[in-house]
Structure 1
Amino acid sequence: MDKFDAMRAFVRVVESGNFTKAAETLNVQKPTVTRLVQLLEDDLATKLLNRTTRRVTVTPDGAAYYDRAVRLLTELEELENAMIGARSNPKGRLRIDLPRPLAHSVVVPALPDFLEKYPDIDLEIGASDNPVDLFGDNVDCAIRIGKLTDQSLVARRVGFSHFGLCASPEYWKKYGKPKHPREIDLHHTVIRMISASTARPFPIVASYGDDTVDIQGKKTVLCNDVSTCTDLARAGLGIISGGTFMTAPLIASGELEPCLEQWHLPPMPVSVVYPPNRHLSNKLRVFVDWVVELFANHPSQKKSGG
């Protein structure tokens, strides 16, 4: 038995919650992972995992071993990277997850620059409006918009997502532009994004001086996908509170037109997050630094973050 392979298999089972996912992230067969963990338990003469047909849980001994194993494997990776000169030439597969608006309008267009600087890094990119489980899916890092609820993750704020009210020219021609947010509740349809965590629409709050309005709309169209919300607005079905990452190009092309631009909608923070047990490997470190610089120079960040 290769002790380090067995430790990696055990760590992945704990993080993913089952042997099947662990095998997928390690790119081996499930029986291989099962055998490695069994050999590790035999070698340590203790039970690390409780197995049932439905779930895998960690024993007290397993929890203690997991903490030490993660630290040891991280130190081993850092030692190997140092020995092969990885600080000047980071390499390996990096799994990242992005919200679709940021992937489409900010990160993906700039990735050729990143890969030109670091040609030995292989990217595996997921783009979704619903946040993934970084531990269970073995994702190295993610970019997230909004308040972070998972306090177990390490986070680095990189910027803000600003918002504004807009609709299609056809919609404004049919219904007219409101002169005050309260007119939206009396006469207009609002397209609202549903939160994946609460299953409720995100609030739309506009303020101007001492006046603050919680916008509801006379009618609502609900959707759980940011891109689809934008498509609904482009189709003339209502007003959206759109993030400028997504709407700015559409406003520039004339597909959407803003309204009530003097009213302020609270921005949401944009953060890079990663599991604490990943620490900052060299490949992850250079990607995080690159994202920070990317957002610092992006036109969307010229507004004040508040």
Structure 2
Amino acid sequence: MSVDRILLTNDDGIETVGFRALYDALTPAYDVVAVAPAADQSAVGRSISQDVVVHDHDLGYAVEGTPADCVVAGLGELVPNADAVVSGCNKGANLGEYVLGRSGTVSAAVEAAFFEVPAIATSMYVPGGDDWWELEPDPEHFAHAAAVTRYLVDHAIDAGVFDHADYLNVNAPMADGESGPLPGERAAIAVTEPSTLYEMDAEWDADTGDITLHDRIWDRMRTGDVPDPEGTDRRAIVEGRVSVSPLSVPHASEHHEALDGLAEAYSAETDPEPVADAGSGAGGD
């Protein structure tokens, strides 16, 4: 299967620097049609709408909806002949098993997989503390993300990668010479699995009654103190490599004797006592 037309989406919004970086990297070789959120839709997961408003845009279409909305509207109507979906480039990494379901960037790729369209979700790791999100990135910062995404679109389908994976979750270092090589230099690819480390916690402020949710892993990544083993996405990105995780949908399901036994026991039980008739006074209004 050759790639001619690409549906490009994201969750940060169609006007962001990372989105334009991928658009500019792909358009010299492909017919790229943007179908992306009109505004920031970060961390919405696979939230879906019933109706969305679509606006014409210089790059394609701006959708007043979520990344999943964009993929469904795009593959279902706006760009039904797309050969691949690319989502990104997200400002901020999407690493670890627990992040995959909440990331709008990754969720767009998951939605495409249900259409049986090869998809790549690309994110850029921004080092720093709790204020990393305040960074106003330059286009050059996305150099490694753009280069590896273009490389994978060029080669992965013909190489048979998507015979074994439904989508690729790509995380690239920022091209700043510190967290990753400078633009023009090559950042090596590591084929990875999502990390299983989970360090979310909550802190209750008794004075205000507020509970603050905090992901402690970002503090550890800032200092390089991550216990993730070799072969995991987080280890690769901390070491300045591009993490590429080949992933599949739907969620895996495994039958086992414990649950099968419960199901059989429930089915074998006699019917429970019928619920009292509402008119007997046992029910409510």
Structure with the bigger percentage of helix: 1
Measured against the shorter chain, the TM-score band is under 0.3
Higher relative contact order by CA 8 Å / sep ≥ 6: 1 or 2?
A: 1
Q: TM-score w.r.t. structure 1 length?
A: 0.25
